[in-house]
């Protein structure tokens, strides 16, 4: 089986490529290295069955070359991070929508199945936990750039479902919740790599707001195989499926957990959202996936706990050094 992974030099894409190669499958990565990093695929270069192209998904000829050579497509290429979205909303919207359109169009032409990575951001400001795939969603106004990410991901989902209904595309939407693990950069503000690096460098660990907001964190080593099993599951085609972990924890409790595992001497401080993200930023409420559909489709049972995630991020950071970027108050948002 030959797998094309767009965005394969990203954090999740790199782990997915690694997992597939480990299963004896072949992998072609297509990535423009904008938010992805060569470091994520460097260990794979030279491995049997691994090929990569540096370029954009919107480059029609390149996409056609890669897509016609594969059996299935994992479309993971997307704009990452709320800071980028606020700074460059045009790029977010265009990258997310144009790339999906290009991939789905060619996947229909060549008859290749697609898994597209979406995001729990699609649930917007909903407060009705846990979030189910058929729930209503609530978004902020279009005058706030941060919502362009949720809207553009929702359009990707509409596109896949519509291509499936009307053009015969075989494909599934994986709505990813917080996914964490080794090699995730703290550069885009993701909370666990930030907290671990902060604790390792003596603190303080910076909790935004009161720390009451809750999240569920999945280990990327659970998520990557789940994506492959979803792709293998024909019953999933045409559907949206939540992917993640459903153990819920407040950000304050997370900070305490990181402190107790990584550095009991680190201080925990609270800083306002305004200080962290700038005036007018709207943080989201708590988030937890309803995983019934995922369990029913692939019998999903995550093997890694939150403590495993924290320990793995810590040991990776220790062996590779930090991301090389100072993690301080007001650093880039997620
Ligand atoms: N967060 C925090 N301190 C940080 C980075 C993030 O308190 O240094 C909070 C953030 O405001 C959010 C939660 O941690 O409520 C999860 O943030 P992340 O960016 O990892 O993911 P997302 O908000 O996309 O779920």
User: Which residue, by CA, sits nearest to atom 24 of ligand 1?
Assistant: 334
> How high is the pLDDT of residue 86?
79
pLDDT class of 326 with cuts at 50, 70, 90: very low
* Ligand 1 atom with minimal separation from the 195 CA: 8
* Ligand 1 atom with minimal separation from the 177 CA: 25
* Ligand 1 atom with minimal separation from the 334 CA: 19
Residue 45, pLDDT above cutoff 50 = yes
Q: How far is the CA of 96 from the centre of ligand 1 (A)?
A: 22
Ligand 1 site-directed mutation target among 123, 210, 334, most atoms within 8 Å of CB: 334
> Is 300 known to be catalytic?
no
List the beta bridge partners of residue 157: none
Task: Identify the helix (H) or strand (E) that includes residue 304.
Answer: none
Residue 244 structure tokens: 């993640």
b vs e for 35-65, b when ≥16 Cβ sit within 10 Å of the residue's Cβ? bbbeebbeebeeeebbbbbebbbbeeebbee
pLDDT class of 322 with cuts at 50, 70, 90: low
The residue ranking higher by pLDDT, 212 or 80, is: 212
Please provide residue 238's backbone torsions phi and psi, each rounded to the nearest 5 degrees: 85, 0
Q: Are 161 and 236 in contact (CB under 8 A)?
A: no
Q: How far is the CA of 334 from the centre of ligand 1 (A)?
A: 7
| Secondary structure of 198-246 as H, E, C letters | HHHCCCCEEEECCCCCEEECEEHHHHHHHHHHHHHCHHHCCCEEEECCC
Does residue 282 sit in helix, strand or coil?
coil
Per-residue pLDDT tens over the stretch 50-60: 999 999 999 99
Please tell me which of 34-38, 129-133, 275-279 the model is most confident about, judged by mean pLDDT. Answer: 129-133
Q: Are 207 and 38 in contact (CB under 8 A)?
A: no
User: Which residue, by CA, sits nearest to atom 14 of ligand 1?
Assistant: 191
Percent of the chain scoring above 70 in pLDDT: 94
Q: Are 56 and 40 in contact (CB under 8 A)?
A: no
Q: How confident is the model over 242-264, as a mean pLDDT?
A: 98
* Ligand 1 atom with minimal separation from the 207 CA: 7
Calpha distance 115→5 (Å, rounded): 10
* Residues 41-47: contacts with CB under 8 Å, at least 24 apart: 41/8, 41/9, 41/14, 41/17, 43/18, 44/14, 44/17, 44/18, 47/21
Q: How does strand 214-216 pair with strand 248-250?
A: antiparallel
Sheet strands (E) in the chain: 2-6, 26-31, 50-54, 72-75, 114-119, 171-176, 179-180, 205-208, 214-216, 218-219, 240-243, 248-250, 268-271
Q: How far is the CA of 278 from the centre of ligand 1 (A)?
A: 14
Residue 85, pLDDT above cutoff 90 = no
Q: How confident is the model over 56-82, as a mean pLDDT?
A: 93
User: Which residue, by CA, sits nearest to atom 13 of ligand 1?
Assistant: 191
> How high is the pLDDT of residue 79?
80
Q: How far is the CA of 221 from the centre of ligand 1 (A)?
A: 21
Residues near ligand 1 with C-beta < 6 Å? 178, 189-191, 194, 206-208, 213, 215, 251, 283, 334
Please provide residue 288's backbone torsions phi and psi, each rounded to the nearest 5 degrees: -150, 130
Ligand 1 site-directed mutation target among 11, 146, 251, most atoms within 8 Å of CB: 251
Closest CA to 147 of 214, 95, 77, 85: 85
Judged by phi (left if over 0) then psi (alpha if -120 to 50, else beta), residue 317 lies in: alpha
Calpha distance 73→124 (Å, rounded): 27
Q: Is the dihedral of CA 184, 189, 192, 198 positive or negative?
A: positive
Does residue 248 sit in helix, strand or coil?
strand
Q: Given 52, 74, 149, 300, which residue is catalytic? A: 149
> How high is the pLDDT of residue 327?
36
Does residue 26 sit in helix, strand or coil?
strand
Question: How many residues would you count in the chain?
Answer: 334
């Amino acid at each position: 089986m030959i797998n094309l992974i767009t965005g394969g030099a990203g954090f999740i894409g790199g782990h997915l490529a690694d997992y597939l190669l480990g299963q004896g499958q072949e992998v072609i990565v297509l990535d423009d290295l904008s938010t992805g990093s060569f470091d994520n695929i460097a260990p794979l270069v030279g491995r049997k069955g691994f090929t990569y192209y540096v370029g954009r998904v919107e480059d029609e000829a390149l996409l056609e070359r890669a897509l016609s050579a594969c059996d299935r497509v994992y479309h993971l290429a997307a704009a990452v991070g709320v800071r980028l979205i606020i700074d460059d909303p045009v790029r977010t919207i265009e990258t997310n929508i144009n790339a999906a359109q290009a991939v789905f169009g060619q996947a229909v032409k060549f008859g290749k199945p697609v898994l597209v990575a979406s995001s729990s951001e699609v649930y917007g400001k909903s407060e009705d936990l846990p979030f189910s795939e058929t729930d209503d969603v609530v978004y902020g106004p279009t005058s706030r750039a941060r919502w362009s990410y949720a809207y553009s991901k929702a359009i990707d989902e509409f596109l896949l479902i519509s291509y499936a209904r009307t053009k015969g595309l075989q494909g599934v939407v994986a709505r990813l919740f917080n996914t964490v693990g080794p090699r995730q950069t703290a550069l885009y503000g993701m909370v666990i790599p930030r907290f671990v690096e902060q604790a390792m460098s003596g603190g303080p660990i910076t909790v935004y707001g009161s720390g009451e907001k809750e999240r569920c964190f999945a280990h990327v080593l659970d998520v990557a195989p789940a994506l492959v099993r979803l792709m293998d599951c024909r019953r999933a085609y045409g559907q949206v499926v939540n992917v993640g972990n459903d153990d819920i924890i407040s950000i304050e409790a997370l900070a305490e957990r990181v402190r107790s595992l990584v550095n009991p001497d680190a201080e925990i401080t609270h800083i306002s959202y305004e200080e962290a993200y700038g005036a007018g930023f709207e943080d989201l409420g708590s988030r937890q996936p309803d995983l019934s559909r995922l369990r029913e489709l692939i019998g999903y049972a995550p093997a890694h706990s939150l403590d495993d995630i924290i320990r793995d991020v810590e040991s990776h950071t220790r062996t590779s050094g930090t991301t090389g970027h100072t993690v301080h108050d007001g650093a880039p948002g997620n």
